[in-house]
Amino acid sequence: LIDMYAKCQMLSNACKVLQELPCRNVVTWSTLIAGHAQQGHGQEALDCLVAMKSEGLSPNVVTFVCLLKACAGIRAIDKGKQIHDEILTRGFLEKNVMLGSALVDMYAKCGVLTRAQQVLEDLPLRNVVCWNALISGYAKHGGFHEALDCFDQMQSEGVSPDTVTFICILKACGKIGAYMDKGRQIHDDIVSRGLLQMDITVGTALVDMYIKCGALSQANKVLKDLPIRDVISWSALISGYAQQGLG
């Protein structure tokens, strides 16, 4: 019931159901915390943690993942660090890559990128999700060369990029004008994986990368070769021509 109300964006009803339960456990509380976090109510999610602990209940892995998402959403870095310490004390990072990814994502979204990278490097197991969290963080906060370094390191560890990785790394290439070497290599990799046939957002990111690098003829060619074009991909090309004075 709590989950249904939370997913239907009726959090007041979800709270009411939880309060009226004769017995509450970590699952019911985690469900409510997840609902608050998913709808951007980070402080309410953290308030639920306090209430849950007052009943003598301890968070589990799912609770911590949701709490870290809540911290990331409201940039509550101090609370995030407290939660990190509690996770380390309980030894959860040694067994759960999802939790590690959530921790990297929290630090990255709060702009504490050196800490995010340290957390990732300390993880016993790294997957594409945790790498994406770090690469995305660097790309968002202007660390474009660092994003490219992470991309190379990820692949050197045998982790294959996915569409999220490519979108973030194309943004980084566009920002630093690295299309002649890195951008073209990534383009070739995307084509070889057949991603342009499956995901229009990757195609749009590729068009945007070439535009930001001033390679408008290449951007035009990429767009024309896309199996599906939408208003976003066309707008990217139109914007590029307009910015170059090619009315």
Residue among 93, 109, 154 nearest 129 (CA): 154
CB 139 within 8 A of CB 151: no
Q: How far apart are CA 17 and CA 2, in angstroms?
A: 6
116-162 residue pLDDT tens: 999 999 998 899 999 999 999 999 999 999 999 999 999 999 999 99
- What is the rounded end-to-end Cα distance, in angstroms, of the chain? 56
pLDDT of res. 45: 97
Q: What is the mean pLDDT of residues 218-229?
A: 93
Euclidean distance between CA atoms 81 and 85, whole angstroms: 6
**pLDDT > 70 fraction of the chain, expressed in percent and rounded:** 100
Query: Is the pTM above the cut of 0.85?
Result: yes
Each residue's pLDDT tens digit, 39-61: 999 999 999 999 999 999 999 99
- Decide: residue 217, CB within 10 A, 0-12 exposed, 13-18 middle, 19+ buried: exposed
Core vs surface per residue 130-141: b (16+ CB within 10 A) or e: bbbbbbbbbbbb
Instruction: Look at residue 179 and tell me whether its pLDDT is greater than 70.
Output: no
